[in-house]
């Protein structure tokens, strides 16, 4: 019984995808220590090792396998097959994970946006003190359906247009894209609300204008 449960658990590999400027990083989670992790794109062909880190895995006494893979941006969906070899030299069953670029891009950028909410907007300084910059929202726009702005405690209601998302260059910003909002000198704070792709709405974030000296 226990052996059966253990064997079943050995195919519970998972991978979390994070978008980067150059492509994707997939971080792999294993149910037990391993000496090798291998992957393959598509349903055929040979497996490829993720490589080894320059640190020792204390539970195996051997170099730790790199728990991630990196690959370029792509538009088409693909299956990623994963397997590993345990401390006893036994290979796990193959786990196949469907990678859907559009959904993964939206999910990854949304996670990033939720983690950097205090940086959604940055007030300009010196000669640009009449502006508030929304660079972070433009950078992660592939997860955003709508941006709404308010001032001085008002509920966000004024839309701020974002450039279209380009899945092949999701972090690229088109020339001439508007990345700031002009503010009257009397404005003391700005509120922002995001509607994510899929319809979920963020909490309202408030950004206080720095006190002028």
Domain ranges of the chain: 2-99, 106-208
- CATH number, domain 2-99, options 2.60.120.10, 3.40.50.11540, 2.60.40.3760, 2.40.10.10: 2.60.40.3760
Percent of the chain whose predicted confidence (pLDDT) is above 90? 78
14-31 pLDDT, tens per residue?
999 999 988 999 999 999
* Angstrom distance (rounded) from CA 103 to CA 91: 31
Structure-block tokens of residue 56: 């020792």
49-105 pLDDT, tens per residue?
999 999 999 989 999 999 999 999 888 999 999 999 999 999 999 999 999 999 999
Burial of 124 (0-12, 13-18, 19+ CB in 10 A): middle
Query: How many residues in total does the chain contain?
Result: 213
């Amino acid at each position: 019984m226990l052996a059966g449960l253990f064997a079943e658990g050995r195919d519970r590999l998972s991978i979390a995808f994070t978008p980067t400027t150059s492509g994707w990083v997939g971080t792999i989670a294993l149910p037990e220590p391993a000496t090798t992790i291998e992957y393959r794109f598509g349903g055929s062909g040979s497996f490829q090792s993720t490589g080894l880190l320059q640190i020792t895995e204390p539970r195996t006494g051997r170099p730790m396998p790199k728990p991630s893979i990196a690959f370029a941006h792509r538009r088409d969906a693909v299956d990623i097959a994963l397997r590993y070899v345990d401390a006893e030299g036994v290979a796990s069953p193959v786990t196949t994970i469907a990678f859907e670029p559009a959904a993964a891009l939206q999910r990854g950028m949304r996670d990033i946006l939720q983690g950097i909410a205090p940086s959604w907007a940055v007030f300009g300084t010196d000669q640009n003190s009449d502006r508030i910059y929304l660079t972070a929202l433009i950078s992660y726009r592939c997860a955003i359906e709508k941006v709404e702005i308010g001032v001085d405690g008002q509920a966000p209601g004024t839309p701020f247009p974002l450039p279209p998302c380009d899945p092949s260059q999701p972090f690229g910003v088109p020339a001439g894209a508007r990345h700031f909002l002009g503010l009257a000198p009397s404005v003391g704070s700005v509120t922002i609300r995001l509607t994510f792709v899929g319809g979920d709405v963020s909490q309202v974030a408030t950004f206080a204008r720095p006190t002028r000296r």
